Structure 1
Amino acid sequence: MELKKPLLEVRDFAVHFKQYGKGLHRKDIQVISNFTLDLYAGEILAIVGGSGSGKSLLAHAILGILPANAYTSGSIKYKGEELTPKKKEQLRGREISLIPQSISYLDPLMKTGHQIGSPLQNLKGTVKNIMKRFQLAELVEQKYPFQLSGGMARRVLIGTALSSGAQLIIADEPTPGLHKSMVDETLSSLKELANNGRGVLMITHDIDLAFIIADKIAVFNKGVSVEIADAKLFEASPDNVAHPYSKALWHALPQNGFHSIRGMDYGNYIDAVQHSGDGEA
């Protein structure tokens, strides 16, 4: 019997930033280290960790959109094939799609309707359905991003990714600023994609959202994946996870006592990103 192969394989992956100080002295800062995961078609895997812990950098690395002063080591494979820079460019927006954290990713010179159903995607018939699903009025189709509210722009970003036909969807904090009904619709859409055989990698600091939607949770702390756990078992009890940070995340939830998490140091990561010219964490 042939074993099922992962849609996405990440092995011993690391991200470094190069910085130059006085006298052109070079300093390297490592913000992700020894990261390993497997994501299968039909599965939702959530990467959970504090804000500024480097989670978004993994998404940017998969897509090939890291800042110019970043370099990587380790391996990322899609459908068993190494994701080289050329391969990432070929697949980006086609087979691998991003729901980004920032609404600035929308093209400021393109109307909403064209962004949701671009010629690249060739899915014009889906535009009106997606707009209706995310409660976007018909007139929004002819508006530019600067004419949209923050919540509307985020819904357009989600619709753009859903219409892409991609096999791998990377959702980077997809729900902040959305009304609860739209949060529920977004999660439902991601679940629907997984049920239709797509792979979904969701990046979030909200572990409660991960419990709702994910099959597995990768706990991320200080640029390291400390463990990968079954989402339902993790939700049920902290005894079902091994790492102290995972247990601390569980106890930090309001329904579990709302205990604070101490000892998180993201100074190196924040410093590296500020010097890269890319402010997204």
Structure 2
Amino acid sequence: MRALDAVAAERAGDAVLSVRDLTVRFRLRGGRTVAAVTDADFDLAAGECLALVGESGCGKSVLASALLGLLPANAETSGTALLAAPEGSTGAVDLLAADEKTLARTVRGRRVGLVPQSPAAHLTPVRTVRSQLEETVRALTGTSRRERGKAAEDAAARAAFPAGHLDRYPHELSGGLAQRAATALALIGDARLLLADEPTTGLDRDLVDRTVDELRRHADDGRGLLLITHDLAAAERIADRVAVMYAGRIVEIAPAHRFFGPPGPRHPYARGLLDALPDRAFTPIPGMPPELSALPEGCAFAPRCPAATELCATRPAFTAGVACHHPERPRA
């Protein structure tokens, strides 16, 4: 984790990904609409890890799927998500406007890697892990057969996938092993942008640390890493900045060292996430998140917030890194 705010500022002009007003709506039968993501704004610099955190169902994974064009047919997107051109070339790609041919041939796996939330759905059930790794190496690098074998084994080692399991099929793997196999596949192309959607699911603490450390090394080599996670300890370990999402909106973005240490987060929801941890106050946030198909006009967190007032019936603007009418004062 970086110790200085200057890191982000120094790399602001070297953004790998620039997202503006990203909005995703799902049209349901009967005319209902689910507001899965609303007006997401953030930049991700080369060499930076941005951790996107929040409760289940807040829109984190939908945001990642939108960036890769993997949303279902009833989804409607707006906004922009500019992916910087590869080094030595020109022409950024708007991921939200790109057609399926462009995404499939030039973006997914090559310029944007994905560690999926559900690895079983991304692994071919009738092929061994080794063959899938080697095929991915061939498709992305075009190396010789001998080189493909070594590259596949190297990728497995980076993801802490045991060499003795490389010739097994996906159905023979535990959930944790399947997660590590998917991580190995994502690391092969050395994509300039890596989206890691809950990459530590099913792993014990030692493997969590090893996995996120490898993802951090991927960023340290000058690439961007968007880490989507429930695991705040993993985020604290490797993130440069933290973005907190609630009910489809990003409500706070802060440097990681300020978020996890003094002065702490300013949004009451973000503060509640930290206070709910066993090694902190171990106090759960009261109530439940709102239904995304019936969001209030004002602050969506107001019904659960001890600081809410009548002013919270109006939607707060995102100012100075936080969207709140009553941001908390920094703690010593």
Place the TM-score, normalised by the shorter chain, in its bin.
0.7 to 0.9
Q: 1:258 to 1:39 in 2, by over 3 A?
A: same
What is the rounded CA distance, in whole Å, between the counterparts of 1:97 and 1:3 in structure 2?
22
- Alignment correspondent of 2:111: 95
The correspondence for 1:81, drawn from 77, 90, 93, is 93
Q: Secondary structure at the match of 1:10?
A: strand
- Alignment correspondent of 2:199: 174
The correspondence for 1:254, drawn from 273, 278, 298, is 278
Is 2:33 aligned against 1:14?
Answer: no
Q: 1:6 to 1:269 in 2, by over 3 A?
A: farther
- Alignment correspondent of 2:41: 36
After superposition, give the CA deviation of every residue in 1:229-258 in whole Å (9 maximum; x if it has no partner): 000111113x44321111212212222211
Asked if 1 retains the 8 angstrom alpha-carbon contact of 2:21 and 2:41, the reply is yes
What is the percentage of aligned positions where both structures have the same residue? Answer: 38
User: Cα distance, 1:261 vs. partner?
Assistant: 0.9
Q: 1:141 to 1:269 in 2, by over 3 A?
A: farther
Q: 1:141 to 1:78 in 2, by over 3 A?
A: same
Q: Secondary structure at the match of 2:279?
A: helix
- Alignment correspondent of 2:68: 63
What is the rounded CA distance, in whole Å, between the counterparts of 1:77 and 1:91 in structure 2?
12
State the aligned residue count.
265
What is the rounded CA distance, in whole Å, between the counterparts of 2:293 and 2:203 in structure 1?
28
User: Cα distance, 1:200 vs. partner?
Assistant: 0.3
TM-score (normalised: structure 1): 0.88
Asked if 2 retains the 8 angstrom alpha-carbon contact of 1:53 and 1:266, the reply is no
What is the rounded CA distance, in whole Å, between the counterparts of 2:198 and 2:64 in structure 1?
11
Q: Secondary structure at the match of 1:37?
A: strand
User: Cα distance, 1:137 vs. partner?
Assistant: 4.1
Structure 2, unaligned runs of 5 or more = 1-9, 85-91, 295-332
- Alignment correspondent of 1:274: none
What is the rounded CA distance, in whole Å, between the counterparts of 1:200 and 1:2 in structure 2?
14
Larger Rg: 2
Is 2:231 aligned against 1:206?
Answer: yes
Is 2:128 aligned against 1:111?
Answer: yes
What is the rounded CA distance, in whole Å, between the counterparts of 1:3 and 1:145 in structure 2?
41
AA aligned opposite 2:24 = V
Relative contact order (alpha carbons < 8 A, sep ≥ 6): 1 or 2 greater?
A: 1
What is the rounded CA distance, in whole Å, between the counterparts of 2:183 and 2:275 in structure 1?
31
What is the rounded CA distance, in whole Å, between the counterparts of 1:42 and 1:174 in structure 2?
19
RMSD between aligned residues = 2.1
Structure 1, unaligned runs of 5 or more = 271-281
Equivalent positions of 1:155-234 (< 5 A) are 155-234=180-259
What is the rounded CA distance, in whole Å, between the counterparts of 2:115 and 2:39 in structure 1?
25
Asked if 1 retains the 8 angstrom alpha-carbon contact of 2:247 and 2:292, the reply is no
Q: Secondary structure at the match of 1:268?
A: coil
The correspondence for 1:4, drawn from 7, 13, 18, is 13
AA aligned opposite 1:6 = A
Q: 1:236 to 1:135 in 2, by over 3 A?
A: closer
- Alignment correspondent of 1:277: none
AA aligned opposite 2:98 = P
Asked if 1 retains the 8 angstrom alpha-carbon contact of 2:51 and 2:229, the reply is yes
AA aligned opposite 1:120 = A
Q: Which sits farther off after the overlay, 255-264 or 49-58? A: 255-264
Asked if 1 retains the 8 angstrom alpha-carbon contact of 2:125 and 2:170, the reply is yes
Q: Secondary structure at the match of 1:67?
A: coil
AA aligned opposite 1:34 = D
What is the rounded CA distance, in whole Å, between the counterparts of 2:183 and 2:167 in structure 1?
17
- Alignment correspondent of 2:87: none
Q: Which sits farther off after the overlay, 97-106 or 132-141? A: 132-141
